[in-house]
Homo-oligomer: A and B are copies of this chain.
Amino acid sequence: MNITQEEMMSSTMECSPVSRVVIFGGTHGNEMSGVTLAKHWLKDPSELHRTTFMAEPCLANPLAVNKCVRYIDSDLNRCFSEDVLSSADSDNDPYEFKRARELNQRYGSGCLYDFVFDLHNTTSNMGATLLRCSKDDALSLHLANYLQSSSGSVSMPCYNFLIDIPKKDNIYLQNIGKHSCCIELGPQPQGVTRADVLSRMRQLVNCGLDFLDLFNHGKEFPSFQTDIYRVLSRVDYPRDSFGEISAFIHNDLQDKDYVPLKPGDPIFTTINGEDLFYDGEKVVYPTFINEAAYYEKKVAFILTEKVSWKVPALKLKTPEDHHGTPK
């Protein structure tokens, strides 16, 4: 899609109706909001029923859930690469490679689901982050806008987070659906279910299903302008000559996800109390600050830029119209 933002604003996107919706919890087995909700919905899915579809819950990594760990052999949410998905199972594969192929067969290439929700928690103060890897998914952006408008929360506001990569480089679970949204709520420690975070997650999912149902019913959604936090770079902890972490997130940065970071602001502090400063040249927006699971990925925080996007209007594609979007 190579149209300008101005063209987008005056155009209307058309999408086919959404009939198959899956909600993954437990993609990481110790992120308890999604684990708890998926388990609950597997027992009683009545809440996921809408007049135009019935969403399906799925516990994405049941072995990791049973052990209350992020993963067994390999981070499931990094296993959806073309390479892994196109290879045959082998005995030496990490458990999660096999599981990724199973999930892809069931919800992705084998039987393409229209919308994928993937529920996560973070130890960072990320509020309700709506994470996606495609900038062209207008349906998901409208869903996010609907969540932001209909489901306000002062203590846990919604943010649009974009990992802007080509589909062929996408290694995340949400990649297998036609449209998708990863809902990432924090702060919540790994292995802990907080009632406030649980109920916020549930509210967001239900609100998202309401949106998809309204869309299926033919409701048109006008164009809008929105802030997107687009990933610029990942920043590792300072390390000593042995590779050991030698400085930690500075107190002034801790819990300041989505707060502007200016050149010269402190970002790390060494164990001996020496401050280290941000030496970039422009204001950026740090995210996933001090996320527990990112220590092993050598990520202390992820820098984003805040961009203002125009999203075109959205309407249901009528059966007669098969000429692609935008029209």
Contact = CB atoms under 8 A, between A and B. Distances in A.
A292 to B, nearest CB: 4
A195 B293 contact: no
Given A39-B244, A40-B271, A198-B248, A190 B191 contact: yes
Nearest to A244: B39
Interface of A: 36, 39-40, 68, 123, 187, 189-196, 198, 244-245, 248-251, 254, 269, 271, 290-293, 295-296
A296 B191 CA distance: 10
| Most chain B C-beta atoms within 10 Å of own C-beta, residue among A40, A68, A194, A244 | A194
Given A189-B190, A290-B192, A68 B296 contact: yes
B271 A194 contact: no
Chain A at the B interface: mostly helix, strand, loop or mixed?
loop
A156 to B, nearest CB: 13
Given A68-B296, A189-B189, A192-B295, 6 more contacts: A40-B271, A123-B191, A190-B292, A192-B291, A195-B248, A196-B254
A206 B23 CA distance: 50
A290 B197 CA distance: 13
A244 B251 CA distance: 38
| Most chain B C-beta atoms within 10 Å of own C-beta, residue among A192, A196, A290, A291 | A192
Contacts of A189: 123, 187, 189-190, 292
A191 B290 CA distance: 10
A271 B39 CA distance: 11
Nearest to A268: B195
